[in-house]
């Protein structure tokens, strides 16, 4: 799954390959729900994945029981074949079975993959937008 993730995001702005150590740390993070993860495999190749999470402590703040599609990716060789749609729909089905009331995910709105268009087509609405800032400075050395 890690190698497919690296391939899927290699053409995204600011993305770097995830090392085995970083990937293990990511999978051990709070809220991670391996029982809600889904993979699509073709032979020995993971062609798509949805790594899902639930953060119960957020419910008191949001008023919602949200299932999060934390990581979603499709191997570049399999894009445009409905892999992501299938994974999202399966994730939403799993969330409903867990009595979660909303499905959530984040996206780089500048992504050239068209992901934000797919999410809108599947019924997701923009909850909020965020902006990252960068300030250069001179090193003291």
HEC-encoded secondary structure of 87-116: HHHHHHHHHHHCCCCEEEECCCCCCCCCHH
In 3D, which of 3, 5, 6 has the Cα closest to residue 73?
5
Asked, for residue 102, whether it belongs to a domain, the answer is yes
CATH at 45: 3.40.630.30
Asked, for residue 133, whether it belongs to a domain, the answer is no
**How many domains does the chain contain in total?**
1
Asked, for residue 141, whether it belongs to a domain, the answer is no
Tokens matching residue 73: 């990716």
Asked, for residue 127, whether it belongs to a domain, the answer is no
pLDDT digits (tens, 9 = 90+) for 16-29: 888 889 889 988 98
pLDDT digits (tens, 9 = 90+) for 95-112: 999 999 999 998 876 666
Bridge partners of 105?
Answer: 69
Alpha-carbon span 41 to 65, nearest angstrom: 30
pLDDT at 114 over 90: no
Asked, for residue 131, whether it belongs to a domain, the answer is no
Query: Residue 21 in 3-state DSSP?
Result: helix
User: Please, what's the b/e burial string for 1-18 (b: 16 or more CB within 10 A of its CB; e: otherwise)?
Assistant: bbebbbbbbeeeeeeeeb
Asked, for residue 37, whether it belongs to a domain, the answer is yes
pTM over 0.95, yes/no: no
pLDDT at 54 over 70: yes
Q: What is the pLDDT of residue 111?
A: 66
Q: Give the range of the structural domain holding residue 56, as residue numbers without chain letter.
A: 2-121
Asked, for residue 136, whether it belongs to a domain, the answer is no
Asked, for residue 92, whether it belongs to a domain, the answer is yes
């Amino acid at each position: 799954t890690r190698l497919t993730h690296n391939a899927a995001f290699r053409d995204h702005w600011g993305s770097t390959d995830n090392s085995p150590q970083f990937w293990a740390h990511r999978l051990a993070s709070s809220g991670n729900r391996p029982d809600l993860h889904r993979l699509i495999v073709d032979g020995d190749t993971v062609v798509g994945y949805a790594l899902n999470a639930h953060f119960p402590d957020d419910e008191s703040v949001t008023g919602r029981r949200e299932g999060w599609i934390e990581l979603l990716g499709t191997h570049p060789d399999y894009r445009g074949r409905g892999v992501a749609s299938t994974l999202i729909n399966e994730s939403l089905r799993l969330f409903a079975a867990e009595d979660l009331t909303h499905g959530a995910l984040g996206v780089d709105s500048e992504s050239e993959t068209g992901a934000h268009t797919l999410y809108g087509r599947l019924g997701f609405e923009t909850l909020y937008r965020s902006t990252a800032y960068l300030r250069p400075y001179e090193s003291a050395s």
